[in-house]
């Protein structure tokens, strides 16, 4: 990696660590206040559509962010400002209309997403969706602004902004947790808690938009202008990526809708999926932001220069580093799922049943972690090549496969009962997504092999097998340390078990990777030794 890429990665890692720490604190407070009860279960159904916009459009590595980075990189301040103002105008207009639709159609939308919800959860979710509907507008503004900042080498603000949402939620939900036992019995605490969750989420998103404005102003990018220009070539270039990329990423969110549709018949499944997904998204987000965000402008520049050799080299570097990190962490989640969940969540309303549910889901997520990140990285190469159609087509095909796999793995539910003799429950929904990601990654690599006139797939597969061997050994050591040694059954004991088992696992992964001569792990080990050695 070049020096500039390393420095960007350090900034992004630090910013992401701050945001993830805030996110962890937020989830701890939510778990203690609500567990897998009605308020948070409803929130996961109500948030799925507004969250689609906030995560998809407003998120780092989302289509709006990627389109702005790919299109504005290398452009001067005046042109960038004009393009950003025009895209803001058109996107905000469309999202205002969508906000109105969400408010008017809240009842029908919740019924569509969760047809088997209880009346209590359904009613809470409808109210929450109406409150959070304006997230659609803020999400567009956030994503476009952060993309423009990254294109102008500003990475800190986009990386740390999610912590603002966490701070707001912690303040609101934490206050509710402290007073809920003293609330008058005539007040429905689940409904009140649901309202607080929704209001805090909306205020948090507004904060993420506000915090980017000073940086945009300092770079001459923030202009309040109504510009509707479909003829400008720069604007056309943005839409060329935004439209297919949004549909492509939107297909992934439709898969979330499908998962929730099937999960609505499983008690507490939606809340459990949310808790487990957060634990997975913490390392995923950290590694994704540290690798993919700095690599996206690099992919774009190499693609424009027609430098396929270095593009393939960078792609391989990104795939190996991301896969190595995800296999190492996935091995820990698979072998230490239950103690990790107990350590982080088991307090307040989060009881033993919740621990069992979430730990099973965490294990299932751990299996598919390398595929999540590999897919994201491969898609970004297509965006850099100016091709948003291929990821879109594959994501569309993935919807049908995900629905089929979901139905199959939870026993084939029908109006006449389950049609299959087995049912993997909520973990089956996660495994279905893993299977779809596996198929999608294979198709993306096959297509890139044609587009880039040949990839060294054989050597990549050989290195991938080495990583799996290292991961298997690391997992075995993690399980052995966590099981054979008798750890005290208290907070200190659980913490020690997780820390020592994880450390032994990561250490063995690094040693095995070096012994197997995995180039990227050897380079990373050399870098770590240099950092740790005295000057």
125: which residues sit within 8 A by CB, 6+ positions away? 42, 43, 45, 46, 110, 114, 117, 194
**pLDDT over 60 (residue 75):** yes
Residue 526 is predicted with a pLDDT of 63
Q: CA–CA separation, 43 vs 131, rounded Å?
A: 11
| pLDDT at 56 > cutoff 90 | no
Dihedral angle of Cα 230, 231, 233, 237, to the nearest 10 degrees: 30
Dihedral (Cα; 115, 117, 121, 122), 10-degree rounding: 20
Q: What is the pLDDT of residue 141?
A: 81
Tokens of 516: 């197997």
Any idea which of 108-117, 268-277, 521-530 has the lowest mean pLDDT?
A: 521-530
What integer best gives the mean pLDDT of the chain? Answer: 80
Average pLDDT over residues 510-522: 83
Question: Comparing 123-127, 187-191, 218-222, which segment has the lowest mean pLDDT?
Answer: 218-222
Question: Residues 477-508: pLDDT tens digits?
Answer: 999 998 888 888 888 888 899 999 999 999 99
- Of 531, 522, 61, the closest CA to residue 289 belongs to 61
Predicted local confidence at residue 1, as pLDDT:
41
Instruction: With beta carbons less than 8 A apart as the criterion, state whether 346 and 494 touch.
Output: no
Residue 150 CA to residue 157 CA, distance in Å, equals 9
| Whole-number Å distance between alpha carbons of 223 and 173 | 35
DSSP conformation letters of 385-446: TT--HHHHHHHHHHHHHHHHHHHHHTT---TT---SS---HHHHHHHHHHHHHHHHHHHHHH
Q: pLDDT by residue (tens digit) across 326-369?
A: 999 999 999 998 899 888 888 777 878 888 888 989 999 899 88
Distances (CA, A) of 230 to 42, 94, 137: 41, 15, 21
pLDDT, tens digit, for every residue of 209-254?
888 788 777 777 666 667 776 767 777 777 766 666 666 555 656 7
Residue 320 pLDDT greater than 70, yes or no = yes
What is the tens place of the pLDDT at every residue in 267-284?
777 778 878 888 887 788
Q: By mean pLDDT, which of 180-184, 262-266, 314-318, 473-477 is the weakest?
A: 180-184
- Selected residue with higher pLDDT from 397 and 235: 397
Picking from 51-60, 310-319, 347-356, which range would have the lowest pLDDT averaged per residue?
51-60
Phi, psi of 409 (to 5 degrees): -80, -10
Tell me: the pLDDT tens digits for 457-466? 888 889 889 9
Question: What pLDDT, in 10s, does the model give residues 298-308?
Answer: 887 788 777 88
Task: Supply the pLDDT for residue 3.
Answer: 42
pLDDT for the residue numbered 151:
67
Angle at 158 between CA 155 and CA 313, to 5 degrees: 50
Query: What percentage of the chain carries pLDDT values higher than 70?
Result: 81
Q: How far, rounded to the nearest angstrom, does the alpha carbon of residue 353 sit from its chain's CA centroid?
A: 26
User: Which of 115-151 are b and which e, b meaning 16 or more Cβ less than 10 Å from the residue's Cβ?
Assistant: eebeebbbbbbbbbbbbbbbbbbbbbbbbbbbbbbbb
Provide the pLDDT for residue 333: 92
- Predicted pLDDT of residue 2: 44
């Amino acid at each position: 990696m070049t020096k500039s890429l390393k420095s960007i990665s350090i900034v992004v890692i630090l910013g992401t660590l701050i945001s993830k720490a805030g996110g962890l604190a937020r989830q701890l407070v939510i778990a203690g206040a609500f567990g897998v009860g009605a308020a948070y279960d409803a929130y996961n159904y109500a948030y799925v559509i507004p969250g689609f916009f906030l995560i998809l459009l407003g998120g780092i590595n989302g289509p709006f962010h990627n389109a702005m980075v790919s299109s504005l990189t290398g452009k001067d301040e005046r042109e960038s400002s004009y393009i950003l103002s025009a895209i803001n105008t058109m996107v905000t207009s469309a999202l205002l209309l969508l906000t109105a639709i969400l408010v008017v159609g809240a009842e029908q939308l919740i019924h569509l997403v969760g047809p088997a919800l209880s009346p209590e959860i359904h009613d809470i979710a409808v109210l929450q969706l109406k409150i959070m509907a304006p997230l659609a507008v803020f999400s567009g503004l956030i994503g476009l602004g952060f993309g423009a900042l990254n294109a102008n080498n500003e990475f800190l603000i986009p990386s740390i902004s999610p912590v603002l949402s966490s701070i707001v939620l912690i303040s609101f939900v934490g206050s509710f947790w402290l007073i809920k036992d003293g609330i008058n019995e005539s007040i429905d605490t689940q409904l009140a808690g649901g309202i607080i969750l929704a209001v805090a989420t909306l205020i948090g998103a507004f904060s993420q938009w506000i915090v980017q404005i000073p940086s945009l102003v300092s770079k001459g990018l923030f202009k309040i202008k109504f510009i509707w220009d479909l003829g400008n070539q720069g604007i056309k270039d943005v839409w060329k990526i935004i439209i297919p990329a949004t549909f492509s990423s939107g297909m992934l969110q439709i898969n979330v809708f499908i998962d929730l549709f099937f999960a609505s018949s499983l008690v507490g499944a939606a809340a459990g999926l949310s808790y487990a997904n957060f634990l997975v998204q913490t390392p995923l987000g950290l590694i994704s932001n540290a690798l993919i965000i700095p690599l996206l402008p690099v992919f774009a520049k190499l693609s424009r220069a027609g430098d396929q050799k270095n593009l393939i080299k960078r792609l391989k570097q990104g795939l190996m580093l991301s896969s190595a990190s995800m296999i190492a962490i996935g091995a820990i989640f698979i072998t230490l799922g239950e103690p990790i969940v107990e350590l982080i969540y088991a307090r307040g309303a989060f009881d033993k049943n919740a621990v069992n549910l979430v730990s099973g889901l965490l294990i299932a997520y751990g299996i598919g972690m390398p595929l999540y990140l590999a897919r994201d990285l491969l898609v970004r190469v297509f965006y850099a090549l100016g091709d948003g159609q291929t990821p879109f087509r594959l994501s569309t095909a993935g919807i049908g496969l995900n629905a089929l796999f979901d139905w199959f793995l939870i026993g084939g539910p029908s109006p006449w009962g389950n049609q299959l003799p087995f049912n993997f429950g909520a973990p089956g929904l996660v495994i279905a997504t893993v299977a779809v990601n596996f198929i999608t990654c294979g198709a993306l690599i096959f297509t890139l092999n044609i587009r880039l006139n040949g990839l060294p797939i054989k050597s990549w597969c050989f290195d991938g097998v080495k990583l799996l061997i290292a991961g298997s050994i690391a997992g075995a050591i993690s399980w052995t340390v966590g099981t054979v040694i008798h750890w005290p059954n208290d907070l200190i004991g659980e913490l020690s078990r997780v820390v020592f088992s994880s450390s032994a696992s990561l250490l063995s992964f690094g040693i095995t990777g070096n012994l197997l001569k995995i180039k990227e792990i050897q380079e990373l080990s050399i870098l770590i030794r240099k950092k740790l050695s005295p000057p």
